Structure 1
């Protein structure tokens, strides 16, 4: 590809990014710039179209930086062309201090290019496939990259985008308004584009995730069956999943199903939750599945269960804060289940839509034998209370309040 053609595309991309930034909101993220020190590379991961480029652009406000989106079909590049990309940026913007590379893993062999640049420049890399980036970065940039996973808008960010500016303590009228917006959020979800274009864009987002991030990368031939598999997994949100059972149901061998499932996870579309084992033994058991955004649940699933969607949203919020799947579990006792064991913050969390029943309370009481130091929480739709049973204090929090807590 000719240098002048690359320059033209890069210039156009940066102008498009600036337009995007003019309509953006601040995201609820930590001070990511503090991680951007030479020779570290900041890696922003997350599901496709969750706002990674926009977040990276916001971090670059007021700075002279070069930006390239390698997911652009106008850029037909191989690793030998990357020096032209570097030259194009210098010719357009001078001796920049920062580079922002979107989906650079689309160019095979990109790691050595970034490894060279990071010795003198501050670099942000974004990507929508965890396995590709983690494998490649782990090989070439061992100990020299910091990962951050970005999700679609949280409920707090959703309100900010909607220009709903409320300050605690909330009035009765404001709480009613918040709950109305929460119902909308459960329906449309948090993808930035969906806030502007509505639910109709969700099908395009879902298909892009399937085909660009999974089908093309895994070279899947049985596309119809893969779509059926994806729909089956997504429809099982907030539930235990048996891949062996799905394999038999779709008449596809288990090895293929396992590979497809890894593709869904690596694309950040679904998140598996393991069962907590106090003996720290690794036992092959079913995992519970959560979907990255409630809008996609509404799009794909035939059966909608508000209680399960609430549980799904709570999980994603915990992941948003914890940034690690290794600190969240579910737990099963002999005759009870705990939705979430948050080992990072030492909390047991139950989620329920209807009235608080003895089942939720008794489960926490029984689990206290193992998790005595953990805070016990029930997240409800709109009940707020403190319940005491057997000298155990259980806090009941409305979903909207849990989601808005910083």
Structure 2
């Protein structure tokens, strides 16, 4: 690619960015991620396709009020770009934006093979944001090239708080009976349509488009999958196991492929942020590798559109709780707990708390309480929580306090 051709692409994208910057967007709950923008550190905003990564990057630049350049490498005009072409891209950026540009935003730059060394050189003088819909971009050569000098942040589709903000509703925890009723009505809608911005703007049919883009652009294309029909069956089956333990060996037999293939396919879906595997807690790391994992889906709207089983509201609620924990902990220190005669949905090791999820609206089943107490005896967690659909309060058993928290309150906390 010559410099003039690169300049045209950069200039075209600049016009698009200027138009986007003039629009109003929903403020995302991401904390102060601007603190990671220090030389020579690189901020990597990662997450599922269409979750708003590029918009978040631009909002951050607007808030900081800095001079920056933006380039989206998912542009079809840049298909097939090589590391040699990046020199022309760099020159084009300076000619279009000026030599004094101090921040660089590179969207989906992992589409260019060997991009790591390019970013590694630029980070010595520029503050850089990279975005990506593939978690592998932080493995291998990137980690080697940046020698640990990068900070990654995983972005999800809208949380329930952000969804209410989009609907122009008060996202604070409601207190009055009327406000609680209004929030619960919206929560039911959120369980159905989810939080992909495009689905909320265009309609829930857009989830089908997003799903297919994830499958083909982020998995099939990257991993060169040839058995398309079997892969699509596998993806639907795995999504249908939401909030439950899954045996990949059994799925391999059902689909009719070997375990190695199933491992690659599940690895691809996980790296595309479509699914998340939650490990079972084990005192030894080796135990955690051998236990079956539970699977959760990136957005409730994806469950309602793709899962082939009848929708189970209790499992959807558990999936919502999982997503809240994944967001808050940035995917770190989370497990499920299972013993001979008990199971607890979540162990948040970072905050030392055990969480049980139930679709209870009038009475908590005794087995839920017993499971929490048995897990507490094993892990000595500081906080025991039962997340219900509609019950709020506190119980005391065996000298231990157990909080009962309604789902809407937990999601808005």
Q: What pairs up with 1:170-319 in 2 under 5 angstroms? A: 170-282=175-287, 283-302=289-308, 303-319=310-326
Indicate which of 336, 342, 346 corresponds to 1:340: 346
Determine the C-alpha separation between the residues in 1 that align with 2:89 and 2:43: 20
SS of corresponding position for 1:153 = coil
1:64 match: 67
C-alpha distance after superposition, 1:297-325 (max 9, x if no partner): 01111220111011011111101010134
2:394 touches 2:404 (CA, 8 Å); kept in 1?
Answer: yes
1:137 touches 1:145 (CA, 8 Å); kept in 2?
Answer: no
2:47 match: 46
How much has 1:279 moved relative to structure 2?
Answer: 4.1
Determine the C-alpha separation between the residues in 1 that align with 2:285 and 2:240: 30
1:379 match: 387
1:120 match: 125
SS of corresponding position for 1:124 = strand
1:404 and 2:412 matched: yes
Determine the C-alpha separation between the residues in 1 that align with 2:196 and 2:398: 43
Indicate which of 96, 100, 123 corresponds to 1:92: 96
1:163 and 2:164 matched: no
Query: Does the C-alpha gap of structure 1 residues 19 and 352 become closer, same or farther in structure 2, counting only changes over 3 Å?
Result: farther
SS of corresponding position for 1:27 = coil
TM-score (norm 2): 0.95
Determine the C-alpha separation between the residues in 2 that align with 1:6 and 1:37: 28
Gaps of 5+ in 2: none
Indicate which of 324, 331, 345 corresponds to 1:324: 331
Query: Does the C-alpha gap of structure 1 residues 79 and 403 become closer, same or farther in structure 2, counting only changes over 3 Å?
Result: same
SS of corresponding position for 2:208 = helix
Indicate which of 63, 79, 82 corresponds to 2:83: 79
Gaps of 5+ in 1: none
Determine the C-alpha separation between the residues in 1 that align with 2:88 and 2:240: 45
Determine the C-alpha separation between the residues in 2 that align with 1:36 and 1:166: 29
SS of corresponding position for 2:387 = strand
Query: Does the C-alpha gap of structure 1 residues 286 and 203 become closer, same or farther in structure 2, counting only changes over 3 Å?
Result: same
C-alpha distance after superposition, 1:192-234 (max 9, x if no partner): 1111011010001000100000000000000111000000101
2:159 touches 2:324 (CA, 8 Å); kept in 1?
Answer: yes
SS of corresponding position for 1:364 = helix
Determine the C-alpha separation between the residues in 1 that align with 2:137 and 2:43: 16
Determine the C-alpha separation between the residues in 1 that align with 2:47 and 2:268: 14
| Aligned-pair Cα RMSD in Å | 1.3
How much has 1:14 moved relative to structure 2?
Answer: 2.9
SS of corresponding position for 1:341 = strand
How much has 1:133 moved relative to structure 2?
Answer: 3.2
Determine the C-alpha separation between the residues in 1 that align with 2:399 and 2:206: 50
SS of corresponding position for 1:148 = strand
Determine the C-alpha separation between the residues in 1 that align with 2:261 and 2:18: 42
1:329 touches 1:342 (CA, 8 Å); kept in 2?
Answer: yes
How many residues matched?
A: 404
2:162 touches 2:171 (CA, 8 Å); kept in 1?
Answer: no
Determine the C-alpha separation between the residues in 1 that align with 2:138 and 2:18: 26
